[in-house]
């Protein structure tokens, strides 16, 4: 059979008696040798370009394939560079690190934990947007709907009595305008006109409404929503006094 490509050559030299049907046996003509060499050169070029159908096995220093995809499979290698042909990874047991473009973990739950966002974590953000973009102002939370917190259900409360002398307590408080002083500016607050009350005044009458300020626990802040029960009871006391005065007329 005529040897038309390199894969058909024999490792035993004496068995290679023709190239593409050209006789190269002992006593062949010089032109036969010339033509045979040309055919070998052609076969080598076909092998180089991958058009011969032959492949060089991995064990012989080749890839065992005539195309890059199969060659990478045979070599257990991934494409380098842009990796445009890699659409999925299977059998990956060691997670890719962040430096490799991965997360360092192999599951969503582990990723949440590694980012400090699971239910047991104490996460910290510069600013937060819920249903909208974050403002970028340190410490600000923006939401497009209600923020629901804590509880108010009677079934969860053991009542200890109404707030007594609520009106007297309210009368000790002052509502005033202010802006951040130098110390507050050093802590990150901006100078702008605000309205509020004094945490020290509130602490004197209702310490339950006062808490350490999140910016620095040596300072105080007021949970304004918890002043509402005091105001309700003060209004009721004031209403009772008004009704008493009306009845005296």
Q: Is the Cβ–Cβ distance between 166 and 230 less than 8 Å?
A: yes
- Reading the block at residue 44, the tokens are 């080598």
CA gap 32, 26 in Å, rounded: 11
Q: Is the pLDDT of residue 63 over 80?
A: no
The confidence band for 69, taking pLDDT boundaries of 50, 70 and 90, is: confident
| 123 or 145, which is more confident | 145
For residue 218, what are the contacts with CB-CB under 8 A and spacing of at least 6?
A: 212
For residue 208, what are the contacts with CB-CB under 8 A and spacing of at least 6?
A: 226
Minimum mean pLDDT among 15-19, 130-134, 194-198, 226-230: which range?
A: 15-19
Kind plus residue range of the DSSP H or E element containing 142: strand 141-143
3-state DSSP assignment of residue 202:
helix
- Reading the block at residue 160, the tokens are 């200890």
3-state DSSP assignment of residue 148:
coil
For residue 36, what are the contacts with CB-CB under 8 A and spacing of at least 6?
A: 18, 19, 20, 22, 24
CA neighbor of 106 nearest in space, from 119, 120, 96, 116 = 96
Sorted by where each begins, the domain ranges of the chain are 6-54, 161-237
Q: Which residues are registered as beta bridge partners of 167?
A: none
The confidence band for 152, taking pLDDT boundaries of 50, 70 and 90, is: very high
Instruction: Look at the alpha carbons of 232, 233, 236, 238 in this order and tell me if their dihedral is positive or negative.
Output: negative
CA 28 to chain centre: 74
| 80 or 200, which is more confident | 200
CA gap 128, 133 in Å, rounded: 8
Find the DSSP H helices in 25-144: 30-49, 68-75, 108-114
Q: Is the pLDDT of residue 205 over 70?
A: yes
3-state DSSP assignment of residue 161:
coil
Minimum mean pLDDT among 72-86, 103-117, 146-160, 235-249: which range?
A: 72-86
Per DSSP, 190 falls in state: -
Count other Cβ atoms within 10 Å, centred on residue 78: 10
């Amino acid at each position: 059979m005529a040897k038309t490509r390199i894969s058909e050559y024999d490792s035993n030299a004496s068995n290679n008696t023709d190239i593409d049907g050209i006789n190269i046996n002992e006593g062949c003509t010089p032109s036969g040798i010339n033509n045979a060499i040309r055919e070998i050169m052609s076969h080598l070029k076909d092998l180089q370009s991958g058009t011969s159908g032959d492949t060089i096995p991995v064990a012989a220093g080749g890839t065992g394939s005539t195309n890059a995809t199969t060659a990478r499979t045979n070599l257990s290698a991934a494409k380098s560079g842009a990796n445009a042909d890699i659409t999925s990874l299977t059998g990956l047991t060691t997670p890719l690190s962040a430096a490799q473009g991965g997360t360092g973990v192999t599951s969503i739950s582990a990723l949440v934990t590694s980012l400090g966002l699971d239910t047991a974590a104490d996460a910290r953000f510069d600013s937060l947007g819920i249903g909208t973009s974050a403002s970028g102002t340190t410490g600000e939370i923006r939401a497009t709907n209600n923020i629901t917190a804590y509880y108010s259900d009677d079934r969860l409360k053991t009542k200890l009595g109404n707030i007594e002398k609520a009106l007297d307590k309210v009368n000790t408080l002052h509502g005033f305008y202010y802006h951040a002083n130098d110390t507050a500016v050093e802590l990150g607050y901006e100078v702008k006109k605000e309205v509020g009350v004094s945490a020290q005044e509130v602490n004197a009458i209702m310490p339950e409404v006062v808490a350490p300020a999140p910016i620095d626990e040596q300072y105080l802040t007021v949970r304004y929503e918890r002043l509402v029960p005091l105001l309700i009871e003060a209004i009721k006391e004031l209403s009772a006094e008004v009704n008493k005065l009306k009845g005296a007329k």
